Amino acid sequence: MPVQMPDISLGLMLPEILVALLAMALLLMSAWYGKEGRGTIGWMSIFGIGLAALAIMIGGGTGETTFGGMFVDDTFARYMKLLLLIATVLPLLISFNYVHDNKMDGGEYYVITLFSMLGGMFMVSSGDFVMLYLGLELMSLSIYVLAAFKRNDQKSSEAGLKYFILGSLASGILLYGISLIYGSFGTVSYTGIAEALANSHGHVTPAVGLGMVMIVGGLSFKVAAAPFHMWAPDVYEGAPTSVTAFMASMPKVAAFAVLYRVLIITFPALHSQWGPLLQFLAIASLAVGSFAAIAQTNIKRMLAYSSIGHVGFLLIGLSTGTSDGYQSVLLYLTIYIIMNTGAFALILILNRGGIGDELTDFKGLAKKRPFLAVLMATFMFSMGGIPPLAGFIGKLYIFMAAIKAGMISIAIAGVLFSAVGAFYYLRVVKYMYFDEAKSDFSMPVSSASQAVIVMSGVIMLVWGVFPGSLLSWTETTVRMFQ
Amino acid sequence: MLSLVTFFPLAGVLAIIIAARNNANTARYIALIVSLATFVLSLRLLIDFDSSTAAFQFLEESEWLPAYGITYRMGVDGISLPFVLLTTFLTPLCILSSWKSVQKMVQEYMIAFLALEAFVIGVFCALDFILFYILWEAMLIPMFLLIGIWGGPNRVYAALKFFLYTLAGSVLMLIAIIVMKYTAGTFSIPDLMNAPLGFNLQIWLFLGFFVSFAVKVPMWPFHTWLPDAHVEAPTGGSVILAGILLKMGAYGFLRFSIPMLPDAARYFVPLIFGLSLVGVVYTALVALMQKDLKKLIAYSSVSHMGFVTIGIFSFNQQGLEGGILQMINHGIVAGGLFLLVGVIYDRMHTREIAKFGGVVNVMPVYAVIFMLFTMAAVGLPGTNGFVGEFLILLGAFLANKGVAIVATTGLVLGAAYMLWLYKKVFFGVIHSDEVQALKDMDRREMAIFAPLIILIFWIGFYPGPFLEIMHTSVEQLLAQAHTIKAGTAAVSMY
């Protein structure tokens, strides 16, 4: 039997290669230069991400595949990769000071972040389950390390360990699901499985159904959808805040990209099964996200529950199985990344003043630093889905897609939970505006953080009123799923 | 023109951010000038308005999000124009009234107020459902801050309650709006008025809208947020709340529920009448028991708004016009009463009725003005209150005699609590040094009330021009209300 060499066109992977080379070079550099050079490593990683973004924008999205279909570079991958880069760059930009103040700037911090993002990029471009798993593990392992990065801090170590154990369990479930699917079809390729399913004329063996459910379950863990959310609050709280900011956005983009690939490309024939499954996950996440967040006093925990709630909305959009729904998820995800990072940026800014992890730390911020308070209020109102901010537009399109697909009861549940959820976002505004200051909030704000929060705030307003550009980007992106 | 009126206050917001960063007085003047200019601009609308047609006027249309059928579409008719004018008329008065009473974060206060004005005008002008919804919800943010930052001791609770009640009410409206879009294919409000909708669907949609509007009006039993919000809000906030925000709910009934869902509206008349009557009588009784000036007026608002909904749902010319006119009247009178309470609160820092007594001896001008507003609230002939209430009762009588009779008791109770309030505060002997030390109103304060008093008597003696504006539009609304939209013959319950 002749050995068949797979077709390899490395050009398609240029962004990934750039990031990988950069990360390795930076690792060497950090060992070489010692303490003095470390400040530049952060900026160099940002520069590298910029280069990768450029490579994606110029050459990405051709629709070609390589490595025998393992790696796909289509318009969807292009959009999601850009989103991944944004979801990495923004948290990096706001955490320079935090990383420095907490003595976490041993160069490795940035390198591991880059590797994690690299894993995400492979997930996004995966063309089969093996690629998916490799990317997922690279991403997750890096984040486990990041979560435990404050080595001498008990909470941080606990967060890392907890995330690692539960994450491994979820990976195991995912692998088990993949092996069931492989056993049934003899292939791990997304398109191959889809063809086999299409040829089976709607006859689905229990093994395939079980495998699909397990894959969805494993991925639900990564996006922290209820009932697979238990790890999120503890890990969000325990991990260093800069890592939490990163963890709350980047992996979600990657995992949702994979959900698109698995559900829409691989299992379109099983929509009648995964639709209700996602709806259940969505409602459960919304319920957990809105009610459990009310009881929180730690803002990182609160944002953990809030992110569970946001995942609930995203899953509603995905469960519709329509291109409107797919578009609305991309829209919401993009908006979520920006407003979430904005909120974390403010926590990090307050952290410099030695406070910021408790909700009560925000008391009276409006009196001392009205500018910061306005921005935080913008992010909170946007997360609560109050117009005229972008968060409302995101929710509006999710609900429109759901109702168009006939899921009226799900939409009603969604709006009611969003009204409950508004309460805890309002509480942050309440602390900032209605209460007396107990701290003088005299901390400095770095220009990078300032740029991020101002830009995010402006984007919230602009997209809240004129979301046209975002709409057309997402519309072109999901066109390939029709 | 309409967009100019709507968004002109936002120019004031920008001006304050740029020019008045460190100077509270500049912020006050900018806010006052901008709101007065908005009023003048809105008068231009009144002059150019053609009251002989029921069509929407000053139409503006431009693409917004064509992929989803969302358009920027504005226009007013005889029903919405009075509310636009009421808003632009009351806002400068509110700003004037907060001149001295608001001392902390003045810039932010003025910004919130102007933003609120812009959003509220927009709500009355919007002819696209999503535009309407965005403005309707956006208005919550400045109001939340107004109550929460500048309010009374229990302001945090009141602000949260206000926000969450209204939000929970309106999210269901969003669902109803989207369902309508996918049934009738458009977000355009004028088009939806003619779109056929099945009876069962109408029932559900009506309920979706009903919750949101009933919370806003507020109708009993959705009214409990109102007394808290009113009592805790700063004077300006109370005036806007009573004068304009409450009208948004009834406006919703007029603009959406009745013309778009006429069959369901007719079907639910008994429900609306029932809740309104309970509201009229029950809240009037509750008002009798109040110890706090603002709370009493807040409950009287609920009672008066009960009259309004009775008038609207009596589905005849008298009732509808009375209802709309009564809303304008209530905006003037309740707004005025809250301003009056603000005047004495600025001096005594209490609103407890028992702390007053004999105020007439030290503040004669104030007592006279308060008396005028009391009479208007009670509905004495010659004041605007009489015209509105008379028309409503006439309409109700034509629709359902029982309802009219029960509603009349609300009038009697209304007279009772208002006169009782007046007696307690103004008559009797002075029994506290604080009252003895009160100073009468100054020129700024009198200037606030002069335009309100003129309107009270103008509408009271010669309501013709005011009714004239809305006449044609109301006729068309009536025609719409009596169409049978649903394919199958809908059963009316009365």
In chain A, residues 396-415 whose CB comes closer than 8 Å to chain B: 396-397, 399-400, 403-404, 408, 411-412, 415
Chain B positions in Cβ-Cβ contact with residue A400 (cut-off 8 Å) = 68, 178, 181
Give a yes or no: residue B287 inside a domain. Answer: yes
Q: Pick from B494, B124, B457, B472: which is nearest to B321 by CA? A: B472
B14 touches chain A (CB under 8 A): no
The total number of structural domains in chain B stands at 1
What is the Cα–Cα distance from A62 to A78, expressed in whole angstroms?
9
Enter the ipTM: 0.89
For residue A196, what are its two tokens? 């086999």
Look at residue B492 in the predicted model and tell me its pLDDT. Answer: 39
Domain boundary assignment for chain A:
8-266, 275-482
Exposure pattern of B131-160 as b/e (b: 16+ CB <10 Å)?
bbbbbbbbbbbbbbbbbbbbbbeebbebbb
What is the Cα–Cα distance from B371 to B197, expressed in whole angstroms?
50
Where is B295: in which H helix or E strand? helix B293-313
Q: What is the pLDDT of residues B256-293, one digit of tens each?
A: 888 888 888 889 999 999 999 998 999 899 988 888 88
pLDDT tens, N- to C-terminus, chain A (482 residues): 566 666 778 888 889 999 999 999 988 888 887 666 667 888 889 999 999 999 998 877 778 888 888 898 889 999 999 999 999 999 999 988 888 888 877 788 899 999 999 999 999 999 999 999 999 999 999 999 999 988 888 889 999 999 999 999 999 999 999 999 999 988 999 999 999 888 887 678 889 999 999 999 999 999 999 889 989 999 999 999 999 999 999 999 999 999 999 999 999 888 888 999 999 999 999 999 999 998 899 999 999 999 999 999 999 999 998 989 999 999 999 999 999 999 999 999 988 888 878 888 888 888 888 889 999 999 999 999 998 899 999 999 999 999 999 899 999 999 999 999 888 899 999 999 888 888 888 888 888 899 999 999 999 999 998 988 888 888 888 888 87
- Looking at every residue in chain B, the average pLDDT score rounds to 87
Q: Nearest chain B Cα to A367, which residue?
A: B105
Q: What is the pLDDT of residues B345-380, one digit of tens each?
A: 888 888 888 888 888 888 888 889 999 999 998 888
Q: Are residues B167 and A419, on separate chains, in Cβ contact within 8 Å?
A: yes
Give the other-Cβ count within 10 Å of B402's Cβ: 11
What three-state secondary structure class fits A482?
A: coil
Look at residue A4 in the predicted model and tell me its pLDDT. Answer: 67
pLDDT at B488 over 50: no
What is the Cα–Cα distance from B140 to B167, expressed in whole angstroms?
8
Look at residue A3 in the predicted model and tell me its pLDDT. Answer: 64
Please report the beta strands in B41-195, taking only residues with DSSP state E, as ranges in sequence order: 57-65, 70-76
Give a yes or no: residue B489 inside a domain. Answer: no
Q: Pick from B451, B461, B421: which is nearest to B300 by CA? A: B421
Look at residue B486 in the predicted model and tell me its pLDDT. Answer: 64
Q: Are residues A426 and B144, on separate chains, in Cβ contact within 8 Å?
A: yes
Look at residue B54 in the predicted model and tell me its pLDDT. Answer: 82
Non-local (6+) Cβ contacts of B152 within 8 A are B158, B231, B232, B233
Q: What is the pLDDT of residues B14-56, one digit of tens each?
A: 888 888 777 888 888 888 999 999 999 998 988 888 888 888 8
One-letter-per-residue 3-state SS of A348-411: HHHHHCCCCCEHHHHCCHHHHCHHHHHHHHHHHHHHCCCCCCHHHHHHHHHHHHHHHCCCHHHH
Displacement of CA B191 from its chain's centroid (Å): 26
Q: Are residues B163 and A434, on separate chains, in Cβ contact within 8 Å?
A: no
Choose from A291, A331, A403, A431 for mutation: most chain B CBs within 10 A: A403
Among the partner residues B68, B130, B149, nearest to A434 by beta-carbon distance: B149
Dmax of chain A from CA atoms? Answer: 79
Give a yes or no: residue B335 inside a domain. Answer: yes
Give a yes or no: residue B433 inside a domain. Answer: yes
Give a yes or no: residue B487 inside a domain. Answer: no
Among the partner residues B67, B134, B160, nearest to A475 by beta-carbon distance: B67
Give the other-Cβ count within 10 Å of B351's Cβ: 20
What is the Cα–Cα distance from B261 to A427, expressed in whole angstroms?
37
Q: What is the pLDDT of residues B219-245, one digit of tens each?
A: 888 888 888 888 888 888 888 888 888
Q: What is the pLDDT of residues B388-403, one digit of tens each?
A: 888 999 999 888 888 8
Report percent pLDDT > 90 for chain B.
18
Look at residue B489 in the predicted model and tell me its pLDDT. Answer: 42
Residue tagged 């009881």 (tokens): A295
Q: What is the pLDDT of residues A323-350, one digit of tens each?
A: 899 999 999 999 999 999 999 999 999 8
A363: distance to nearest CA of chain B, Å? Answer: 13
Non-local (6+) Cβ contacts of B273 within 8 A are B310, B313, B400, B403
What is the Cα–Cα distance from B348 to A36, expressed in whole angstroms?
65
What is the Cα–Cα distance from A345 to A338, expressed in whole angstroms?
10
Across the A/B interface, how many CB contacts are shorter than 8 Å?
86
What three-state secondary structure class fits B63?
A: strand
Any bridge partners for residue A73, and if so which? A64
B346 touches chain A (CB under 8 A): no
A97: distance to nearest CA of chain B, Å? Answer: 30
B184 touches chain A (CB under 8 A): no
The CA-based angle A192-A196-A199, given to 5 degrees, is 140
Q: Pick from A73, A57, A101, A79: which is nearest to A11 by CA? A: A73
Chain A positions in Cβ-Cβ contact with residue B160 (cut-off 8 Å) = 423, 426-427, 430
